[in-house]
Homo-oligomer: A and B are copies of this chain.
Amino acid sequence: MLKNYLIGINSLTTINFKTPVQQYLPQVEERMRDQSVGHHPDLKSAVEHLLASGGKRVRPILCLLAGEMLGSDLQRTITLAAAVEMLHTATLVHDDMIDGALLRRGNPTLNSKWSPAATILTGDFIFARAAKLAAETDSIEVMNLFAQTLSDIVNGEITQMFKSRGLVSRDDYFERIYAKTASMFELATVAPIYLSEGKDELSSIMKTFGYEIGMAFQIVDDILDFTGAQANVGKPVASDLRQGLVTLPALIYIEENPNDEDFMRALNGGNGDDALMTRLVSSIRESGAVEKSLSQAKKYVSRGLASLNELPMSEERKALEDLARYIVDRDF
């Protein structure tokens, strides 16, 4: 039901928010593809494969919209948008390898086709080229933000690996999704400030906006893992929980049903038991936890929208608002 609602609204909203920057997206793609030029041909084909199976380019779009709204230097903002998406791509390469994921967005992952060594090094190469692109924005502030974001993301992954399997607190969950997703959204919305003139005082507005919609984005991603909207791309429903990772819908469910035996068994090694998992996922879906999670995501989006109120209305601000709303209405 929720899934159908999400699908229904999707086609309507994806079109609008891109409009003001649509014309620059091919240049972002080109900047990314150029990164493998002059390097080993197998690297080139890996980068092509990763970029071709890339998602909706939400991060570069966000970056370009913020840049256009702030009057940032266009060419350097295009470079920044490419840097952000390359950084995102690099983290996915190592993540998929660590998780042993075979598909992403319906396409085979690099680790499903290449050796561990080739996969690790390709991830490293994409990190390197993301850093090179960030340096080419010619802003030391951008470079600092970029490197800090990369640290935060990796530290978050390590924390998740060592600590966050099993039952976590809401604080742990929010800390994890900040590191995983919202930190990069912040980078995309804040960094364009340093490519414009005299917009430094907008830094906290742009940071709040990026943070809030980034948190919402990851919560919705975690919801979609439960609603099954990702089943068509080859992931099993509740793939996170099957790997022992507790996300918001599961967290809300266990808060409300602290003695649920299926849940405890799933966390204590029972996550390979298909019958148990199917029953548990049904219980979670029917419990209202998904709707409550979406309501939480909508709160984040509302705060993000509110932060933009201090800015003058413009085509780009309108598009950023559309993008924010799209996050809680999307289906991907």
Contact = CB atoms under 8 A, between A and B. Distances in A.
Nearest to A145: B135
Contacts of A40: 155, 158-159, 162-163
Contacts of A122: 158
A90 to B, nearest CB: 9
Interface residues of A, number: 43
Interface stretch (A112-120, A261-269, A291-299, A308-316): A112-120
Given A135-B144, A140-B140, A158 B128 contact: no
Interface string A141-171: 0011011101101110111011100000000
Given A135-B143, A136-B144, A155 B125 contact: yes
A132 interface: yes
A138 B147 CA distance: 13
A98 B116 CA distance: 8
A91 B116 CA distance: 16
Contacts of A17: none
A278 interface: no
B118 A131 contact: no
A127 interface: yes
Contacts of A144: 132, 135-136
A25 interface: no
B120 A148 contact: no
A207 interface: no
A88 interface: no
Given A98-B121, A116-B116, A158-B125, A151 B132 contact: yes
A97 interface: yes
Given A40-B163, A121-B158, 12 more contacts: A39-B155, A39-B158, A40-B158, A40-B162, A94-B121, A121-B161, A125-B154, A128-B151, A131-B131, A131-B146, A131-B147, A139-B140
14 contacts: A40-B155, A42-B162, A94-B121, A97-B120, A118-B161, A118-B162, A120-B120, A127-B127, A128-B147, A128-B150, A128-B151, A129-B147, A132-B150, A135-B147
- The 6 A-B pairs of least Cβ separation, nearest first, read A132-B147, A128-B150, A131-B147, A98-B117, A135-B143, A128-B151
Interface of A: 39-40, 42-43, 94, 97-98, 116-118, 120-125, 127-129, 131-132, 134-136, 138-140, 143-144, 146-148, 150-151, 153-155, 157-159, 161-163
